[in-house]
Chains A and B, each alone.
Chain A
Amino acid sequence: MRRVAEVAATFAPAFSVYLVLTAFSGEVGLWSLAELIGGAVVSFLVALASHRLLWERGGWRLLNPWRWAVFLFYLLGPFFLAMARANLDVAYRVITGRINPGIVRFNPGLKTDAGRTMLANSITLTPGTLTVDVDDETGDFYVHWINVRNVDPKPEEVCGNFPNWAKVVAE
C-alpha cells in the first residue's frame, strides 16, 4: 500500500510537468493523444525507478503547500537579491582577478536531507560560494569560498540567513 502511494505521489508531479511542457499540442483538451499516452508511460517509468529515493526519509513533509508558498517567496525575494549582489561581486573579481580562495567548514545545524540539499544548492547558485561536500552524519558543510574573510566562519558570514529559510521551508 505504502509502495502504491509512493509511486502515485511520484507519478503525479512528473506527469503534471510533462502536461505543462506539452500544452497546446493538440485536440484532447490542450493536448494531443500521443503526448498524453507517451507522457503517462514515461512518468510511470520514472515513478517506478525513483519513488524509493524520493520518499524514503520523510519526504512527505514536502507536500505541504505552505512550504511551497514560502519557498517561492524565498526564491523570488531574498534569494534573488543575494544572488544578484553576489553576481556583481564575482563579476568584479573576474575583471580585476582579486581572489582569496579556500575551502571553509561550518555547521548550519540542519537535520534533514531536504534542508541540506536546499541550502547546498542555494550556496552553489550564489556566486562566490560553492558547496564541495556535506558530511551526512554531522551536517558539516565544506564550502569553496572565492574570497575568504575568516577561516572559521559562522554560517551567516558565508550564506547570510539562507539556513533559516531552509529550516522554515524544508525541516
Chain B
Amino acid sequence: MTILMYVFLGIGAIFNGLGAVALHRFPDVYTRLHGATKCTTFGSIFSILAVVVYGVARGGDVGISMVIRAVLALVFLLLTNPTGSHALARAAHRAGIKPFKAVVDRLEEVGK
C-alpha cells in the first residue's frame, strides 16, 4: 500500500512538474493552456489517487471520509478544469491574440 501510494505521488509530481516546465517552454497562451491545465489535471488525478490509497489503508470513519472527499474533489476538478480552459482560450481569441506560428486558424477566418 505504501509503495503504491509513493508511486502515485511520484507520477503526480512528475506531471505537475512537466506542467510548470510547459509554462516556460511553450510560446503563447493557447499552447501554455495545453501544458498547464492538462499536466496539472493528470498530475492531480494521481495525487488524489495517492490520498485514496492512504484513506483505504487507514480505514475507519476518517479513512472513508478522506476517500469520499478526495474523489469528490477529483470529480469537480474534472468538471471545472475544461470549462475554465475553454473560457480562457475563448476570451484570449476574442481579445485578438493570434495563435503563435499557427498553420491554420479557422476561427479567425469566420470572424467571430
- With A24-B61, A94-B25, A102-B103 already in contact, the answer to whether A87 and B72 are too (CB < 8 A) is no
Question: In the complex, which residues of chain A have a beta carbon less than 8 angstroms from the beta carbon of B30?
Answer: 101, 130, 132, 144
- A contacts with B: majority SS: mixed
**Contacting residues, chain A, for B69 (C-beta < 8 A):** 21
- Which A residues are closer than 8 A to B by beta carbons? 17, 20-21, 23-24, 83-84, 86-87, 90-91, 94-95, 97, 99-105, 120-128, 130-133, 135, 142, 144, 146, 148, 151
CB closest residue in chain B, given A121? B82
Q: Is B39's CB within 8 Å of the partner chain A? A: yes
Write 13 A-B pairs (CB below 8 A) sorted by A numbering: A24-B64, A84-B42, A87-B15, A94-B26, A99-B27, A121-B86, A130-B89, A132-B89, A133-B90, A133-B93, A142-B106, A144-B30, A144-B89
Closest B residue by C-beta to A25: B65
The 7 closest A-B pairs by CB, nearest first: A124-B82, A127-B38, A105-B106, A102-B104, A121-B82, A151-B104, A102-B103
CA distance A132 to B81 in the complex (A): 14
Cβ distance B73 to chain A, nearest Cβ, rounded Å: 9
Q: Say yes or no for B107: interface residue by CB 8 A criterion.
A: yes
User: How many chain B residues have a CB neighbour from A under 8 Å?
Assistant: 45
The answer for the CA separation of A162 and B4 in the assembled complex, in Å, is 31
- Give the A-binding residues of B (Cβ under 8 A): 15, 18, 21-22, 25-27, 30-31, 33-35, 37-39, 41-42, 61-62, 64-65, 68-69, 72, 78-79, 81-83, 85-86, 89-90, 93, 99-108, 112
Q: Which residues does chain B contribute within 8 Å of A91, judged by CB atoms?
A: 15, 18, 39
Contacts of A121 in B (CB 8 A): 79, 82-83, 86
Q: Closest residue of chain B to A128, judged by CB?
A: B34
